[in-house]
Amino acid sequence: MKINNNSITKVSQQNKDNVNSVKTPKTVQKQINELPNVYYKPSFGRSWAEHKSWGAVIDPETKEASFKIFTYTDTKKVEVLVRKRGNKKVQKVYELKNKGNGVFETGSKIPAGEVENGDTYSFVLYKGNGEKDIIKDPYSFRQEKLLDESVIYDHSLYKWQDDEWYKSNPNRISRRANSENGLSSVKSARIYEFNTATFTKRGTFDGAKSKLKEIAQEGFNAIELMPVENTYSFNWGYDGVDKMAPAEHLGGPDALKSLIDYAHSLGLNVIMDMVPNHIGPDGSSLKRTGPYLGNPNNFGDSFNYEGKDSRYVRDFMVNAALNWIDNYHCDGLRLDMTKFMGSDYTMKQIAAEINYHKPDTFLIAEDARSSISVNDNGDFWDNNDEPHDKRVINPLKQYESAEGEPEQTHIDAIEKISNGNTSLGRLGFDSEWDFNFYHILKDALYQDVDMDALEKACYCAQDRVKYVMSHDEIGNHEGTRLIAKLMVPMLHLNENMINTENVNRDAQFAAEKLAMMLQTGKLDKYDTSEITSRRWINVVEKAFKNEVLIPLGINPNSGITYNSVKSMFNDSFERNKMAMARIFSIPGQKMVFQGDETADLTPFRFFREFESIKNEDALHLEKGYDTGKPAFMESKLGSVEYSPKARQKMARFKNLIKDLNKLNQTNPSLYKGTLIPENTVKHDVSQVFATHSADIESGNETFTVTNFKNFNYPSEHAESYYIKFPKGKWVEILNTDSKRYDGSGNFNNVYPINSDGYNSSPIKLSNESTIIFKRIG
C-alpha cells in the first residue's frame, strides 16, 4: 500500500475486506489514545435520528420539542430560556441533561404546545470556571437578529411541491445515475452560478426566483447559489456565521425553500455552496459556546476538526451539509476551499455520511491542491506531474460495512497521521472546480498557447467543473469581466497609463470603462467611419483624447481611438465565444457565472460590510474602490443601461450559450463521452487545437476545432485550413463565427467532410473561433 511518509496507520487488504477484522497496530493505538476523538472504527455509525437531533427540534408528527447542544466538556449545567414571540419575559426554563463529552440534551420530549414555531430561545451555559454565559444556538435554523436569540423553526410546516422531482425525473442529477434509474449523471451538469444579493436588483431569494425560468430556457440544468449562510450584512456569502440558517436579508428559510421548489419544477438541480473552512468575523458565538474553532487560516477562524474535543465539531459540519440536503432539498453541494479545512478526515466523513444517508446527492469540492496520484484501491503517492490531488474525486467504495449493520457507512479504513493533517486514499467527492484548466485556457486566450499543457488540461477536466470565469476570477481581480480583461493587452493599456501607482489594476478599470462606454452608446459620437473631412476627423479624435482618454488616465498620445476600442472589443467578444465553445466541447461538467451568458459587462466587485472591521482603508487601497455598499450596488445585474446595438449583440451571445447547452443535452459525447488521445490535433505554429470526443454506448462522436490565432482561412495567404479528422463523415453543427452569434458568417462549412482518418481535410476556419463537427457516417 503506497502512502506518503507522514502516514502512521496501515491496514492490510485482507482486513479491508472484513470491517470487523480491522486491527490497530500497538504503535498506532498509542497515537490514537492520545487523540481519542480523532480515530473512528471503519464506520462512523451515526443514525439518521442522531443527525436530526441537534439544536431546537419540533417533531413533525407529535409537535413535541427537544433541545441538544455541544459545549465545553467541563460545563456544569446548561439551561434553555424560551420566550413567546414578541414577549421579552422568559416563559419557560428547561434544564438539559449532561450526556458527557460536552453534550447536553433534553431528557424526555417537551409536550406539544409548550415550545412552538416562532418562539425565541437562548442557551445558558454554566461553565467549569464559574462563568455564566447566554448564547444563541450554533444549530440555529432561523436567526432573525445576528447576535440575539435564535428562533424556533419547524421545517415540517413548509409544504414542498416537488414530489415529481424525486420520481425518477430524468433531469435530476445523481451520483448513482444509471440506465436503470434514468437519472442524469454528474458529468451532465450544466451549471449557472449566481450570487443572490447581486443577481437581481431586489437581491433576494424571491428576486432570484423570478429569473429561474429564463435560466432553464437557456438550457442550463443546474443552478449553484453562492453561500447563503446568515451573515452580518451584505457580502459574497463566504463569511457566514450561522451554518444552518439562510440569511434573513436574502429572505430567510421559507423564501429559499420556495426558490428551490420552483427550480425543481423547471427541471433545475440546485447546488448549495457552503463554507466548511472558516467562520465570519461578525456574529459568531462559537468561541463562547464550545471548542468549535481552531487557529486562524487565510480567511478567518478555522474549525477545530482534529484538535482536542473535536469529534462533535466534525459532526457539526456534517450536519450543516445534511441540513441543506434534507431540509432544503438541495441536489448537490459545493464545498468552498476544502484544502484550508486542514482535515481530509472531515472531508471524508462528510462524503461518507452524505453518500450513506442521501446517496443521490453529488458533491463538488473547491480544493486546488495538486501533485497527488491515486489508484483504484485508494493508494496514493506524490506525483509532481499531476495537476490535481486525485484523492479528492476518488470515489468511496460502496457498501464496505458489515452485513446487518445498516448504520455503518461505506468507507474504507481510516488513517490518522501526525502534524494535524490527515492522509486518506479516498475523499469521496464527485467533482471539483478545475483551477488548472482555467489557468491554461486563460493563457491561451491571451495567445500564449501551450499545446501540450492544454491537451493535458482538457483530459484532466473531463471529471471536473470547467468554466471560462467564475466569481473568483472576476471578483478577486478588479471585478472586471473577461472582455475588459482581454482588451488591456490589445490596447497596450499597461504601457499607456499615466499618473498611476498601480498600473495593472488601473489599466483593467480603464478597459472596463471603455468597453462600458462603447456598449452604452456613449462613444458613438466619436465614430469617424462616416466622416469624410480630414479636418472633422481631427476634431473628433482630439475630443476623444480630451473627453475619454485623459479622464481615464490614458496617455492621449497612445494611438487609441474609437475605432481601435471598437475593434478590440469585438476581438475580445470573439475570444469569449471561442472559449465558451471550447469548454462546452469537453466531456463533463460546465459552469457559467451570472451575466456571462450574455457577455454582460456589469462588474462583480469584492464587497462586504462588517461591524467589527471599521477601517477598510488597506482593502480599498488594494482593490482600488470602496468595497462597501458602492461595490455592492455596482455589482447588481441590470444596473447598466445598454444601447439597442449592444443588447442585440448580447442576445446573439446568449444564442451561443443556448445552442451549446442544447448540443450538450443531445450529444452524449459532449457530456459523458471520452476524449480520444490519438485524435488530438496540436498545431503550434498556427495555434490550432482540436479534440475528438466519443461516447461508445450511443455511438455519438464530435470533433472540435479551435483557432486561437487572429488568422482566417480562406485569406489571401491560404485558401483553406488543412486538419486531420478522425475517420468518418463529419458535418458542422456549431461555429462561433455564425451570424446567429454575431459573427461574420463567412467561414461556415456547409458541405460534409469525408475523412479516411489519415489525410488532412480542408475546412474554412475563422480567426479566434471554435467549430464543433458531428460524425454522421
Q: Does residue 289 contact residue 68 with C-beta atoms inside 8 Å? A: no
Instruction: Return d(Cα 95, Cα 117) in angstroms, integer.
Output: 20
Is pLDDT larger for residue 179 or for residue 150?
150
pLDDT at 37: 35
pLDDT band, residue 392 (cuts 50/70/90): very high
Asked whether the predicted pLDDT for residue 35 surpasses 70, the reply is: no
**What was the pLDDT predicted at 443?**
96
DSSP state of 695: E
pLDDT at 401 over 50: no
The residue with greater pLDDT, 710 or 19, is 710
Give the rounded percent of residues in the chain with a pLDDT score beyond 90: 76
Cα separation, 135 vs 285, in Å, equals 7
At 418 the pLDDT is 27
pLDDT for the residue 532 = 86
Q: What is the DSSP string of 349-371?
A: HHHHHHHHHSTT-EEEE-----S
Model pLDDT, residue 33: 38
User: At residue 404, does pLDDT exceed 70?
Assistant: no
SS3 347: helix
Write down the pLDDT at residue 610.
Answer: 83
Q: What pLDDT sits at residue 10?
A: 26
Q: Does the pLDDT of residue 630 top 70, yes or no?
A: yes
With 50 as the cut, is the pLDDT of residue 675 above it?
A: yes
Res 90: pLDDT: 76
| pLDDT at residue 45 in the model | 60
Query: Rounded to 5 degrees, what are φ and ψ at 638?
Result: 95, 0
Tell me the three-class secondary structure of 98-160, residue by residue.
EEECCEEECCCCECECCECCCCEEEEEEECCCCCEEEECCCCCCCCCCCCCCEECCCHHHCCC
Q: What is the pLDDT of residues 48-93, one digit of tens each?
A: 899 999 999 999 999 999 999 999 999 999 999 999 987 878 789 9
For residues 608-634, give the mean pLDDT.
83
Using DSSP, how many helices (H) and how many strands (E) does the chain show?
21, 32
How far apart (Å, rounded) are the C-alpha atoms in residues 303 and 607? 24
**Where are the extended beta strands (E) located within 290-360?**
293-296, 301-303, 332-335
Q: Is the pLDDT confidence value at 4 over 80?
A: no
Q: How much is the average pLDDT of 666-683?
A: 97
Q: What is the pLDDT of residue 468?
A: 98
- Mean pLDDT over the full length of the chain: 89
What's the mean pLDDT in 695-718?
95
Local confidence band at 415 (pLDDT 50, 70, 90 cut-offs)? very low
pLDDT at 169 over 60: yes
**pLDDT band with cut points at 50, 70 and 90 for residue 577:** very high
Work out the percent of the chain whose per-residue pLDDT is above 70. Answer: 90
pLDDT attached to residue 614: 67
Q: What are 210's three cell numbers? A: 423570478
3-state secondary structure of 770: strand
Q: What is the pLDDT of residues 452-461, one digit of tens each?
A: 999 999 999 9
Tell me what pLDDT residue 615 has. Answer: 67
| 99 CB neighbour count, 10 Å cutoff | 12
pLDDT at 88: 75
Residue 566's nearest CA partner among 544, 550, 581 is: 544
pLDDT the model gives residue 97: 97
pLDDT exceeds 80 at position 405: no
All three cell numbers of 678, joined, read: 490519438
Separation CA 100–CA 118 (nearest Å):
30
pLDDT higher at 700 or 7? 700
Give the model's pLDDT for residue 397.
66
**Span 529-541, mean pLDDT?**
90
With cut-offs at 50, 70 and 90, classify the pLDDT of residue 355: confident
- pTM of the entire predicted model: 0.92
Neighbours of 519 (CB within 10 A): 23
Q: Please write the tens of the pLDDT for every residue from 727-774.
A: 999 999 999 999 999 999 999 999 999 999 999 999 999 999 999 999
Give the model's confidence band at 5: pLDDT under 50 very low, under 70 low, under 90 confident, else very high.
Answer: very low
Point out the least confidently predicted range of 68-72, 265-269, 270-274, 348-352: 348-352
pLDDT at 391 over 80: yes
Quote the pLDDT of residue 410. 32
Confidence of residue 434 (pLDDT cuts 50, 70, 90): very high
Q: What is the pLDDT at residue 378? A: 78
Write b or e for each residue in 496-515: b if 16 or more Cβ atoms lie within 10 A of its Cβ, otherwise e: bbeeeeeeebbbbbbbbbbb
Q: What is the pLDDT of residue 711?
A: 94
